[in-house]
Structure 1
């Protein structure tokens, strides 16, 4: 196949997306599927819904200088979905970019702030929380600068 070949990807909810092979093979998973003879007219991507696959296709088509801006505008729930998609599709640069964005979001945050960012409900009793805080006191200390 030449690099100008157009591929069609199918999301788990049966939406179709077209992408040039040269962009698609930035995904090691897709590249391996093609290398192993996946000659179907449509490549199934069963782990991704159309919302996330559309964003992945947009990411793969983007020029490198656009990627950080692309990630900046996403909500945390979408970032987590993109993180899982990048891991599943083995798109290292996307995985690194999304991980860095999430790391930047939680840097220097305390436990309550991180819970708020990720919408995590504290289901510890006060006694359990105190025991954890006592056992891992180092993790609750702010970095001295």
Structure 2
């Protein structure tokens, strides 16, 4: 298996080096959707198109998934403005197949790459997954340790009882298992 993955849709390509040391080559039009790549070439006007752009905060797996979504979005964009909703629907469908850990990694990668449209969609997916969930579920989802004593937590729950109304009951299912069931 080669350490270089190519998406060949256009003649000009840009090579990116991921945090895990892999080279990833993709069409210039897709790479320019990443504001950090665009900034690299804006800040280095003498850089040739064969320059390798370092991405120290993005692994190959996340980059491949994000590139797939951005390429699809570009294809929809070329079909006109009405295709934007269809593009987002396709991205949402793709994101629903990701585990919670994969989704959180995609959020971090999309944020680093500064892809606002994709970041909006991936953040909405995370919000949908924690909507109406218990505090305990949200803590597990985000890996947040409970630093309240039992008495402090009981007091906060009593003072804010309204916030706990209509919450989906927790089960023994971990957040990553729960997404696969929905």
**TM-score, with normalisation over the residues of structure 2?**
0.67
Aligned length: 141
Contact between 1:4 and 1:22, CA under 8 Å: does it hold in 2? no
In structure 1, stretches of 5+ residues that fail to align are: none
Tell me how far apart the structure 2 counterparts of residues 48 and 142 of structure 1 sit (CA, whole Å). 38
Say which of 125, 128, 144 aligns to 1:101: 125
Contact between 1:8 and 1:16, CA under 8 Å: does it hold in 2? yes
Correspondence 1:62 to 2:69: no
Which residue of structure 2 aligns with residue 23 of structure 1?
Answer: 30
Correspondence 1:9 to 2:8: no
1:10-53 deviations in Å (ceiling 9; x for gaps) = 00121011111111111112111122226262100011122222
Tell me how far apart the structure 2 counterparts of residues 70 and 18 of structure 1 sit (CA, whole Å). 22
Correspondence 1:52 to 2:76: no
Tell me how far apart the structure 2 counterparts of residues 61 and 127 of structure 1 sit (CA, whole Å). 52
1:107 offset after TM fit, Å? Answer: 1.3
CA RMSD in angstroms comes to: 2.3
* Higher alpha-carbon deviation: 107-116 or 46-55: 107-116
Tell me how far apart the structure 2 counterparts of residues 23 and 98 of structure 1 sit (CA, whole Å). 18
**TM-score, with normalisation over the residues of structure 1?**
0.82
